[in-house]
Amino acid sequence: MDCIFCKIARGETESEVVHDGTDVMVFKDLHPKAPVHLLVIPKEHVASIAHLEENHAMLIQKIIYTAKRIAKEQGLAGYKLVFNVGRGGGQVIDHLHLHILGGWKNEEERAINV
């Protein structure tokens, strides 16, 4: 499939990989909007949260638990987890991804628009 995140998942497009699991992958966002900005994706192509089916329950669980684990490994004291859903929600890449954002020094720096 001609999808940039599928290509990253298959290792066909370069990315700064932080975690490469069986079903999910974590890599650095190309245009970070926070000192730490990572993306958690399923390796399977799912377009967005709006496209989730009942059989994706374990997958979405894995995505969130992976985000929690990686955030801890990255030493983030606190962080934001963001799913943009559809163009109206600011989603640009049509492959499900969870943004992990953190590492701000103060509240002012935390004012972001993902």
What is the rounded distance in angstroms from the CA atom of residue 38 to the CA atom of residue 13? 16
Which partner in Zn ion, ligand 5GP, none is near 104 (CB below 5 to 8 A by kind)?
Answer: none
Return the SS3 of 2: coil
Position 57 contacts ligand 5GP (CB under 6 A):
no
Q: For residue 26, what is the enclosing H or E element?
A: strand 24-28
Between the two ends of the chain, the Cα-to-Cα distance in Å is: 26
Check if 97 is active-site. Answer: yes
Which 7-46 residues touch ligand 5GP, going by CB under 6 A? 15, 27-31
- Of 30 and 50, which has the nearer Cβ to ligand 5GP? 30
Which partner in Zn ion, ligand 5GP, none is near 7 (CB below 5 to 8 A by kind)?
Answer: none
What is the rounded distance in angstroms from the CA atom of residue 84 to the CA atom of residue 92? 8
Q: How far is the CB of 63 from ligand 5GP (least distance, A)?
A: 14
CA-to-CA separations, 55 to 42, 52, 101, in angstroms, rounded = 13, 8, 28
| Selected binder of ligand 5GP within 92, 106, 107, 113 (CB under 6 A) | 92
Position 1 contacts ligand 5GP (CB under 6 A):
no
- Of 81 and 93, which has the nearer Cβ to ligand 5GP? 93
Residue type, 20: D
The residues carrying an active-site annotation are: 97
